[in-house]
Structure formats: C-alpha cells, structure tokens
Amino acid sequence: MKNINKKLFLLLILFVFISGFLFAASDDDEDDDIDTYVESYSLGDQMFFINGGVFIPLFFFDKSGEVMDTNLTLGGNGSLCWQVFLSNHVSLGAELGGMFALSPNKRVLYMIPLMVKATYWFRFYPFEVPISLGLGGNLSILEEAAHIDFIAKPSIGFYWNFNEEWAFGANATYWFVPQMYSGSGKVPESNSMFGNFMDVSLSVLFRF
C-alpha cells in the first residue's frame, strides 16, 4: 500500500504541473484584463532570483517500478536564476542550484543542477504565480563518487510585488532525477534508479 501511495503521489504531482502548462497556453486571452492593472513585460526585460529553503527526499523507483526509500534526511537547497521575458507572459533563462542531505551513516550527498528554465506568468495584482519547467544536467556527489544525470524540475511559485523592481515569494519544486547505468562500467545496470525529491524555498526577485 505504501508503494502504491507513493506512485499515486508522483502521478498527481506530474498531472498538476502538466495541467498548469496546458491551462497557461489556453488562458492567454483571459489574462489580458488582469494585465491592465499591472506593469506589462516586453521582450528583453530581465529578472534575477535568489532562492533558498528545505530539500525533501521523497522516494526512488527502479525500472521494474518498485518503490523504495531514499534513506536521506531533510536537507538544504539554494539556487540562482536569471530569466528574460520573451513576451508579456513567457520568460526563459538559466538556473544554477545546489542541495545537500545526509545518509544514515552521515555521508553527505550533494546535487548541483544546471538547467534551462521556461516560465509562464499568471498575474493577480499585486501577486504573480509563475509555473516553470527546468531541464538540464545534474551533478551528484557522494564522497569520491560523482555522476552526471538528466534532471527535470517542474515548479510553481507565489510572489508579492513590493514595487516595480522587487518581489518576494515562495516556490515548491519537484526534482525528477533518473540515474541510469549501462552496466559497461563498475556499476551494474540494476543500480539504475529514478530519484524523486522536492524543495520548498523562499525567493527574492529583482527586475531590471
């Protein structure tokens, strides 16, 4: 039952983010009325984010679908993100992040993702709700062992605009990290796992 619940939780999270992007694509006209109350963005407007918060290990599953514990503690998470607006609602940029968490024998796991990140912005003056998807590479380090994997990070945020330049908010981000092995090296193919994690962070946003 525990394994089924975790699988359902993963499917629910993915459904929420996918639904958000589909809704964003169809809701552009409805948001035009809201935009009359807030400053509009145009091509070339830029933003810089500083994020920091808590890293939450969820579970692993293997190629057979078996779900297992991560055996990691709660950890810390931080990232820097730059984005440029392509239109009034869509921005694109890059994010460099990092996390740490402890294993049961107190070994420290580090993950350092570098991603391209696309965001769609909903506005409810003076608030904004960004829905984002980041894709890129992730460097995992555990003592002397290191591995580079693909990473996907869908996220949703909630920001309050203090003024035209500064905004403050929070984000919830899902980490999907498939760590695959071909079996040609020292690590057998059976060690391939799909990592599922989450972070909740506070954020400072500066526009320029």
Q: Tens digit of pLDDT for each residue in 114-162?
A: 999 999 999 998 999 999 999 999 999 998 888 899 999 999 999 999 9
Q: What is the pLDDT of residue 185?
A: 60
Q: What is the pLDDT of residue 153?
A: 97
Expressed as residue numbers, the domain containing 131 is 2-207
Q: Which of 17-21, 95-99, 128-132, 177-181 has the lowest mean pLDDT?
A: 17-21
Give residue 178's identity as a one-letter amino acid code: P
Considering its fold, how many domains does the chain have in total? 1
Q: Is the pTM higher than 0.75?
A: yes
Mean pLDDT, range 197-204, rounded to an integer: 97
H/E segment holding residue 15: helix 2-26
The CATH number linked to 19 is 2.40.160.20
